[in-house]
Amino acid sequence: MNIQVLGSGCSKCRELEARTKKALQSAGVAGEVEHVTDFVEIAKLRVLVTPALAINGEVKVAGKVPSEAELVGILTTAAATE
Amino acid sequence: MEDITETSVSAPPAPVEPTTQQRRWWLLPALLLWALVYRWLGTVADVLTTSVLHLSLDSHLGSSVAFFLFEVPKVLMLLILVVFGVGVVRSFFTPDRTRQILSGKRESAGNVLAAMLGVVTPFCSCSAVPLFIGFVETGIPLGVTFSFLISAPMVNEVALALLFGMFGWRVAAIYLTAGLVIAIVAGWVIGRLRMERFVEDWVYELDTGVNTANSSNERMSWEKRIDYGLDAVREIVGKVWPYVMAGIAVGAGIHGYVPEGLLASFLGSDTWWSIPLAVLLGVPMYSNAAGIIPVVQALMEKGAALGPVLAFMMSVIGLSLPEMIILRKVLKPRLIGGFVGVVAMGILLVGYLFTAIL
């Protein structure tokens, strides 16, 4: 599973990255977290607000840092539909 | 565990209802308690100062302490209430929805709408660039996009709550109106100047395809909206309270120790250069409006005029250096210059206008 954290490197974006990595572990899902800071890439995913989270190229979260429990939920559903 | 079932998109939304009811009942007593405490703050602060700390309210120290004990809880309580309210309102306006509303709008009417949506749409200057690209790509005119980008940070809830708490509703209303007018007019002017060619070329070449927008118009439950408001309180008030305390502490010192009328000579309404100076000083400062307003309030008590004060505030939050550096990625220097110039002119005019009126 390809997981992208989209953001300009602001503190919230770094928090989302850290939390996603934690959630990935507690969900027991295999995946790689990538931090995208390039605005062209972000624009191509049609994200309006950062921080955002995309899984396999599909935007799941935008404009907020969800709780770890929420992230676990998002990751497990994504893994199940994969 | 509940959190997990709630967020998984495919799960049936059945179990939400009972908690919604509970949450709403809890809200009303909380608001009543808030009003009750708020009403008695002044009395409690005075009693604490005189009977517990044994200070006279007429002494320098006593009047500073009473000021601090009254203003800190007052401003923080107002901040919590306003940020919560604005948070709930904002849960209705996602940036995506704002973009849908604005797309297909012409200039003029579009500028007005964009400035107003800027107040209620959640916005952080760190997403200024993706938002800018998203707006321009959808065909929203450049000037309309700028109206949004100017009003979103300038008319913010923290500034409004603090102005309301320390200067009263009239100044808060003036600030809100002035901010909207500047955003509308500045955006319109930028549109008239035909500055599209000063947007970095790659922005227009970027082909994100015809916008199908992942329109996330999911209907939120009221419980979620209340949660959204509480989250906003946790995040914003959690970040801003030390600045508020520090600002009020400095303000309390000024309140107790600086003689009346001392500042009238150089921050009063007779000095024409105080307003440009206020704008210049405000540009490099960022996001510390929360700490600045209490200081400014104390300064005004000692003879400073409202014009420079408002100009300073607007410049601090409306023209921030970090935001401009971020925007440089999509805008050529001339457009950034135009943006700063037009907004600074607007702030100057507002400053002079209020010095003349009040």
Instruction: Write down the mean pLDDT value for chain B.
Output: 81
pLDDT band at B21 (very low <50, low <70, confident <90, very high): low
In angstroms, what separates the C-alpha of A35 from chain B's closest C-alpha? 15
Tokens representing B322 are 């970090």
Q: Do residues B164 and B184 both lie within one domain?
A: yes
pLDDT band at B15 (very low <50, low <70, confident <90, very high): very low
List of chain A residues whose C-beta atoms are within 8 Å of the C-beta of residue B127: 8, 48-50, 63
| Cβ neighbourhood burial of A13 (10 Å; 0-12, 13-18, 19+) | buried
Which pairing describes strands A52-55 and A2-6: parallel, antiparallel, or unpaired?
Answer: antiparallel
Nearest CA in chain A to B133: A43
Nearest CA in chain B to A45: B208
Does B286 have pLDDT greater than 60? no
**Mutation target among B7, B124, B203, B330 for the A interface, most CBs of A within 10 A:** B7
Contact A47, A59 (CB under 8 A): yes
Q: Do residues B101 and B49 both lie within one domain?
A: no
Tokens representing B342 are 């037009």
Q: Do residues B108 and B231 both lie within one domain?
A: no
Q: Do residues B142 and B286 both lie within one domain?
A: yes
More confident residue, B104 or B120: B120
Does B271 have pLDDT greater than 80? no
Q: Is there a contact between B131 and A74 if contact means CB atoms under 8 Å apart?
A: no
The CATH number assigned to the domain with range A2-81 reads 3.40.30.10
Does B265 have pLDDT greater than 70? no
Q: What ipTM is given for this predicted complex?
A: 0.82
pLDDT band at B167 (very low <50, low <70, confident <90, very high): confident
Query: What is residue B181's predicted lDDT score, i.e. its pLDDT?
Result: 95
Q: Do residues B231 and B259 both lie within one domain?
A: no
Task: State whether residue B174 is helix, strand or coil.
Answer: helix
Rounded CA-CA distance B235/B319 in Å is: 23
Rounded CA-CA distance B232/B238 in Å is: 9
Query: What is residue B4's predicted lDDT score, i.e. its pLDDT?
Result: 37
The boundaries of the domain holding residue B120 are: 95-206+249-357
Residue type, B124: C
Does B6 have pLDDT greater than 70? no
Question: Which element (helix H / strand E) includes B86?
Answer: helix B60-90
Phi then psi dihedrals of residue A56, to 5 deg: 50, 45
Does B86 have pLDDT greater than 50? yes
Rounded CA-CA distance B248/B261 in Å is: 20
Tokens representing B158 are 């923290």
Q: Is there a contact between A73 and B8 if contact means CB atoms under 8 Å apart?
A: yes
In angstroms, what separates the C-alpha of B326 from chain A's closest C-alpha? 9
Q: Give every CB contact of residue B322 below 8 A, 6+ residues apart in sequence.
A: B125, B286
Q: Do residues B172 and B160 both lie within one domain?
A: yes
Rounded CA-CA distance A23/A72 in Å is: 5
Q: Is residue B3 part of a domain?
A: no
Does B39 have pLDDT greater than 80? yes
Q: Is residue B9 part of a domain?
A: no
**C-alpha dihedral (B39, B166, B79, A12), degrees to nearest 10:** -170
Query: What is residue B187's predicted lDDT score, i.e. its pLDDT?
Result: 95
Q: Do residues B230 and B167 both lie within one domain?
A: no
Q: Do residues B106 and B31 both lie within one domain?
A: no
Contact B340, B324 (CB under 8 A): yes
Q: Which residue has the tokens 């997403």?
A: B127
Domain count, chain B: 2
Domain boundaries, chain A: 2-81
Does B238 have pLDDT greater than 70? yes
Q: Is residue B218 part of a domain?
A: no
Query: What is residue B177's predicted lDDT score, i.e. its pLDDT?
Result: 93
What mean pLDDT do residues B231-245 have?
Answer: 87
Instruction: Kindly give the interhelix angle for B109-120 and B169-192, rounded to the nearest 10 degrees.
Output: 130
Q: Is there a contact between A73 and B211 if contact means CB atoms under 8 Å apart?
A: no
What mean pLDDT do residues B15-38 have?
Answer: 73
Percentage of chain B exceeding pLDDT 90: 20
More confident residue, B344 or B217: B344
What mean pLDDT do residues B63-85 have?
Answer: 90
Sheet holding A2-6, edge to edge: A32-36, A2-6, A52-55, A58-62
Q: Do residues B99 and B117 both lie within one domain?
A: yes
